[in-house]
Amino acid sequence: MRKKKRIKKSLVILQLLRTTITMEYLIGMKFNNFVLLAHDNNGGRDILVMKQDQQKFFKLDEYAGMVVSGEAGDTVYFSEFIQKNVVLYRIRNGYSMSPSAAANYTRHELAEALRQKVNIVNLLLGGFDKTSNTPSLYFMDYLGTLAEVPYGSHGYGSYFTYSLLDRLHRPDMTQVEAEDLLLKMDSGRRKY
């Protein structure tokens, strides 16, 4: 069963709500007109699932959002911190951050936290830039590495899906084709 959220027509978030999934998993894909972010709802450690209703999607703005994985406390604390500071930026300045600015701010905060208290948070940040009318997807890990990518994945499922994404991902896919691709990758990942 899938639960779908839409933010305008540029960012699509899918939550994979299958109780048979036994691993943490995030995936993001960028296309010509939108970004697709998907995640499972499992919270756990290594291969143990301790919770199946973990919040992993955080809406940053009308046109941007991020999916996170990692240590349970760190992901919630860090994601809410970023979310509230992006909103504060919009209130103070009267306009929203672009996805690129939000990604660079998030990377800066991860790098600063690395010197004080390490936050074990891996994330994919996606959004649609209103000024340039282009979608963007950013890959970040807990060490503060930032890269703009056409697709990315975190978690155990990423070992299985990168080969499929290399072969099947096309930037000109429609939203229906992208969702079908996501289902193919999810069914392939669950076999193992």
Q: Which residues are bridge partners to 43 per DSSP?
A: 51
Answer for the pair 18, 187: CB distance below 8 angstroms, yes or no: no
Identify the three-state secondary structure at position 21: coil
Name the residue type at position 57. F
pTM (predicted TM-score): 0.84
Helices (H) and strands (E) in the chain — how many of each?
A: 4, 12
Task: List per-residue pLDDT tens for the chain, 192 residues long.
Answer: 445 544 444 555 554 434 344 567 888 999 998 999 888 777 666 666 666 667 788 899 888 999 998 887 888 899 999 999 999 999 999 999 999 999 999 999 999 988 888 888 999 999 998 888 899 999 999 998 999 999 999 887 787 788 888 888 999 999 889 888 888 877 665 554
Name the residue type at position 22. T
DSSP string, 23-63: S-EEEEEE-SS-EEEEEE--EEETTEEEES----EEEEETT
Q: In the numeric block, which tokens belong to residue 28?
A: 């993001």
Question: Cα separation of 67 and 59, whole Å?
Answer: 9
| C-alpha atoms less than 13 angstroms from C-alpha of 68 in its C-beta half-sphere | 29
Nearest to 68 by CA among 32, 48, 41: 41
Q: In the numeric block, which tokens belong to residue 138?
A: 């950013």
